[in-house]
Amino acid sequence: MTLAPVITTEERDAKLVRQITHCVSGSFYRDLFEELSIDPESISTVGDLERLPILVTPKIHRQLQEESSADAGHPFGSHLTVDPSDVVSVSSTSGTTGDPTFYAFTNQDVTVTDTLWQRALKFIGVRPGDRVLHGFGLSMYLAGIPLVRAMERMGLTPIPIGAEAGTEKLLRMMQLTRPTVLACTPSYAEHLLERAPEVLGKEAAELGIEKIVCAGEPGAGLPAVRNKLQEGWGATVYDMLGGAHGIMMASCGHPDCYRMHVLADDYSVSTDLVDPTTKEPLEIVDGITGERVKTSLEWQAQPPLRYSVGDVYQVFTSPCEKGIAGKTIRVMGRVDDLLIVKGVKLYPAAVKNVVNGFVPEVTGELRIVLDGPPPRVTPPLRLTIEAAADSADEDSLRDRIATAMHNRLTVRPEITLVPAGSLARSSHKSQLVEILDGGSSE
């Protein structure tokens, strides 16, 4: 199992200097440095990045898109540092909660993305000739066409069905094409697992999938969720993150390891953390948790420099359970997903992990029902959980789940059990939080 190529501190620093020079060639970063009274030449080492505040967030990114659409006639943001004609590929966020955020790629950026997806797939043992059924969203998603393109150039055989095709078609194509690798979100892998007997008349484990590549949301790194998928599919589940902007992380597949290995230190600074409240930099020690701030070291279009999308990471510096050295991470959730119940802080993914520990008595589908937006939750924390069709003693089940939540997360929820199939499934990211006065939150 091969990690990223070794890069020296001096080489990383030199890459950063070149990247900052490229960033300030455009007006956005140049004006921002002037506004902050920071000389770009004073940022000469990766350690110097801590002197910079968070410079870009998704909200700022979208504001820059509005500016460039009005002033320059393109949607890529005024932080675009190449000519728009040099943009050869575009991806975006889903835009389910507003306008999408666009990500532009030059030819060089496409090459970096190909390199890192291929590095991660090789890391988990996917090899040229393997058939991979692609079940992520193809429509503009970062794990859509960019991943299919990288797999083709690696010599794999991608079967690009895409989540948009629907569950029945995807399962039938899986039966016909016999892939050994499935790539999709963990919540969609759960949904396919449930639907396989109904659609195909057979269990998912009979379909020949050996590896499941998950990304896009927490889940594959949660013990109960991963165990459910591995047992149901008879496959090893791997968690991945990144691809674009020189970011790539992947889990090693060890049964007791729930972290992802950092595979792209030669292309990015991807484990800098700040305090989610004060935004002050945090010292990276084993097990530290904070808001992740990323900086690319080799990116041309819209280079992210001290960019935070609001993800909360736990960073480890000790070797993983498999004995592989190097930094590893766990995604805990998002800053704006944090729930505070009577002073106790928890993330929806942690709630899902506890509930999935009760499969097969429950399906694993749930909703956290809030009266208003997070983080503050008026107690009790209310959960709607799907009970399996053959769950007999619902009172006992409710009590055992509530007790497990109290023991592990120090919160005792109020639980409503509903029949299996009552909660809507998604082929993209699952929605765990339902806000009664304002729709749903991912």
Find the angle CA(325)-CA(331)-CA(333) to the nearest 5 degrees. 165
pLDDT value, residue 297: 98
Distance from C-alpha of 405 to C-alpha of 13, rounded to nearest angstrom: 45
Query: What does the pLDDT read at residue 218?
Result: 83
Instruction: Kindly indicate the confidence band of residue 141, based on its pLDDT and cuts at 50, 70 and 90.
Output: confident
pLDDT score, position 378: 87
Respond yes or no on whether the N-terminal peptide bond of residue 380 is cis (omega within 30° of 0). yes
- pLDDT given for residue 439 in this prediction: 46
Mean pLDDT of the chain: 93
Between CA 411 and CA 262 the distance in angstroms is 33
Question: Torsions phi, psi of 250, nearest 5?
Answer: -155, 145
Q: Which domains does the chain have, with CATH numbers?
A: 1-334 (3.40.50.12780), 339-441 (3.30.300.30)
| pLDDT score for 442 | 41
For 68-91, write each residue's pLDDT tens digit: 999 999 999 999 999 999 999 999
Is the pLDDT assigned to residue 59 strictly greater than 90? yes
Task: Indicate if the pLDDT at residue 426 is higher than 80.
Answer: no
pLDDT classification of 431: cutoffs 50, 70, 90? confident
Q: What is the pLDDT of residues 330-358, one digit of tens each?
A: 999 889 888 999 889 888 988 998 999 99
Question: If pLDDT is split at 50, 70 and 90, which confidence band does 383 have?
Answer: very high
Q: Which pLDDT does position 98 carry in this prediction?
A: 67
**For residue 248, which of 281, 297, 211 has the smallest C-alpha distance?**
297
Mind listing the pLDDT tens digit for each residue in 35-49? 999 999 999 999 999
pLDDT single digits (tens) 266-298: 999 999 999 999 999 999 999 999 999 999 999
In this prediction, residue 100 carries a pLDDT of: 87
Q: Which pLDDT value is given to residue 99?
A: 80
Q: Which amino acid is at 429?
A: K
DSSP letters for 267-290: TEEEEEEE-TTT--B----TTEEE
Quote the pLDDT of residue 440: 45
Region 359-379 average pLDDT: 91
Q: Model confidence over 198-235: pLDDT tens digits?
A: 999 999 999 999 999 999 888 899 998 999 999 999 99
Q: Which amino acid is at 205?
A: A
User: What pLDDT score was predicted for residue 95?
Assistant: 59
418-423: long-range contacts, CB 8 A cutoff, minimum separation 24: 418/384, 418/385, 418/386, 418/387, 419/386, 419/387, 419/389, 420/363, 420/386, 420/387, 420/388, 420/389, 421/363, 421/386, 422/386, 423/365, 423/366, 423/367, 423/384, 423/386
Mean pLDDT confidence for 223-250: 95
In whole angstroms, what is the distance from residue 336 CA to residue 310 CA? 7
Q: pLDDT band for 441, please (50, 70, 90 cuts).
A: very low
Q: Among 126-140, 160-174, 424-438, whose mean pLDDT is lowest?
A: 424-438
